Amino acid sequence: MPKIQKPGVADVPLMKALLDDAAARGYVLSRESHEIYENLRDFLICRPPSGGVAGMVALHIDGADLAEVRSLVVSTAWRGQGIGVMLVRAAVDEARELGIRRVYALTRIPDFFVKLGFVVIDRMDLPSKVFKDCSRCPMLPQCDETALIIETGLAPKTAAVGKALKGETA
Ligand SMILES: CC(C)(COP(=O)(O)OP(=O)(O)OC[C@H]1O[C@@H](n2cnc3c(N)ncnc32)[C@H](O)[C@@H]1OP(=O)(O)O)[C@@H](O)C(=O)NCCC(=O)NCCS
């Protein structure tokens, strides 16, 4: 069973390749290697039993009360097996453990996040500083991202979701 864990520096080339591939398709913003190294502690990865990186996500803290789930990518070979859900749940768990009350996402796949308990909000309700990365986004002139948010206190924990995915009672 793949495990969600913190990455090490040796994982960065594979993480960069995952992000580059998804960024080329317009799913996420690209990140330079140095940005991944500098923010490595933001990331969680999914480690398959065979090694490597099956997926990744970042929890980026914006302030005392708010963090963003971003850079969510699951390798095409591993999609459809619940890894995306596990990664986002683990990031929300981490926010809760850090005492952060709300986690948001800016995304073109709002339905994925709605299934996880996020609710759609008006992007303009987010503090303006969260849009600082937008200047480097190729979609800036016609942004079609939806903003969603979840209260970490209301989100089920990863362990419970893992059981639910396996058909066990939480
Ligand atoms: C989105 C992504 C991370 C999902 O990863 P995954 O491991 O395949 O997702 P899961 O297996 O955990 O899927 C869980 C549920 O989400 C749904 N889902 C998966 N991808 C989806 C998508 N693109 N849009 C809407 N729902 C999606 C699945 O159908 C599944 O629903 P179900 O339980 O009702 O069957 C993966 O498809 C990916 O890397 N996409 C490219 C990058 C991207 O779009 N990132 C998001 C940026 S915000």
Quick check: 160 pLDDT over 90?
no
The SS3 of residue 48 is coil
Q: Kindly list the distances between the CA atom of residue 41 and the CA atoms of 60, 79, 85, 147, in Å, as whole numbers in the listed order.
A: 9, 24, 20, 24
Residue 117 to residue 154: CA distance in whole angstroms: 9
On average, the pLDDT of the chain sits at 89
Q: What is the pLDDT of residue 170?
A: 33
Q: pLDDT (tens digit, 9 = 90+) per residue, 71-95?
A: 999 999 999 999 999 999 999 999 9
Higher per-residue confidence, 125 vs 162: 125
Q: Which class in CATH covers the domain with range 3-164?
A: alpha beta
Residue 80 Cα: closest atom of ligand 1? 11
How many angstroms separate the alpha carbon of residue 79 from the centre of ligand 1? 7
Residue carrying structure tokens 């991944």: 36
How many angstroms separate the alpha carbon of residue 112 from the centre of ligand 1? 6
> Tokens at residue 72, please?
């969510």
Domain positions in the chain are 3-164
Q: pLDDT (tens digit, 9 = 90+) per residue, 2-48?
A: 899 999 999 999 999 999 999 999 899 899 999 999 999 999 999 99
Please state the pTM of the whole predicted model. Answer: 0.90
The SS3 of residue 107 is strand
How many angstroms separate the alpha carbon of residue 66 from the centre of ligand 1? 23
CB atoms within 10 A of CB 96: 17
Residue 86 Cα: closest atom of ligand 1? 12
Quick check: 158 pLDDT over 70?
no
Residue 41 to residue 110: CA distance in whole angstroms: 26
